[in-house]
């Protein structure tokens, strides 16, 4: 397969290397800025009037050099990798992810971003989730027992059939269509959690126990009659 390198020189720009394959039905070009020494030109030559040189790929440019140039030309930043969700859990992005059944038990996940993630049957038992965001997340069947959920955001989250026993939710947000239907809240502390009236009434029907960390009775934190 014949390969031809085209080098264009002009007085106002760096030389550029074009790689073309004459056997392709449509020409495929790769433009690379090259330093003059690599091509065997000096500064004086670069100041000459614009000219075009064509030479075949051969001994003057080794295969290793060409491979290095081609590799450099394909270095780019994937927009997906530029996303800064994640939080302190290593460098893993946890926002908008399917984390079904993943084990986060006992981990420190302060201010972790779980927005819009699927967290079905995910294990957060005993995890420190202070200020974590579960905005619009699906926590169906998740284990949040004994978790520190102070100031966590559950706005629009689906927290149905979850285990919230002995969890501390002081100051957590639960605005919008947040649902705790079918969840175990024995010993959970809902102090200063802004709940919709229908959710508060529902939780009062199943509320029981005392939170082992705060010493507050679950029914008292929900203002149950």
pLDDT digit string, tens, across residues 101-131: 999 999 999 999 999 999 999 999 999 999 9
Instruction: Kindly report, residue by residue over 158-167, the tens digit of the pLDDT.
Output: 999 999 999 9
* Entry pTM: 0.62
Q: What is the DSSP letter of 137?
A: -
Domain count, the chain: 2
Long-range contacts of 218-223 (CB under 8 A, 24+ apart): 218/185, 218/186, 218/187, 218/188, 218/189, 218/190, 221/188, 221/189, 221/190, 221/191, 221/193, 222/190, 222/195
In-domain check, residue 190: yes
Identify the H or E element spanning 12. none
* Interstrand relation of 31-33 and 13-21 (parallel, antiparallel or unpaired): antiparallel
Looking at the fold, whether 216 and 122 belong to one and the same domain comes out as yes
Looking at the fold, whether 102 and 194 belong to one and the same domain comes out as yes
CATH number at residue 144: 2.160.20.80
Looking at the predicted structure, is the pLDDT value of residue 170 above 60? yes
Instruction: Kindly report, residue by residue over 20-51, the tens digit of the pLDDT.
Output: 444 434 434 444 444 444 444 444 444 444 44
């Amino acid at each position: 397969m014949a390969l031809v390198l085209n080098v264009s020189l002009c007085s106002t720009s760096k030389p550029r290397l074009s790689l073309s394959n004459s056997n392709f039905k449509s020409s495929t070009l790769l433009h690379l800025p090259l330093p003059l020494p690599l091509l065997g030109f000096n500064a004086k030559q670069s100041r000459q009037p614009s000219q075009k040189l064509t030479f075949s790929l051969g001994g003057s440019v080794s295969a290793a050099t060409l491979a290095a140039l081609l590799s450099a030309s394909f270095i780019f930043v994937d927009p997906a990798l530029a996303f800064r969700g994640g939080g302190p859990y290593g460098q893993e992005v946890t926002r908008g992810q399917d984390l079904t059944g993943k084990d986060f038990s006992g981990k420190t996940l302060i201010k972790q971003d779980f927005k819009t993630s699927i967290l079905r049957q995910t294990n957060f038992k005993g995890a420190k989730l202070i200020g974590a965001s579960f905005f619009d997340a699906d926590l169906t069947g998740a284990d949040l027992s004994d978790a520190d959920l102070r100031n966590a955001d559950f706005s629009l989250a689906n927290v149905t059939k979850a285990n919230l026993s002995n969890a501390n939710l002081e100051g957590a947000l639960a605005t919008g269509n947040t649902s705790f239907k079918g969840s175990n809240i024995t010993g959970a502390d809902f102090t200063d959690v802004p709940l919709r009236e229908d959710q508060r009434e529902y939780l009062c029907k199943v509320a029981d126990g005392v939170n082992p960390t705060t010493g507050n009775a679950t029914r008292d934190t929900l203002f149950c009659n």
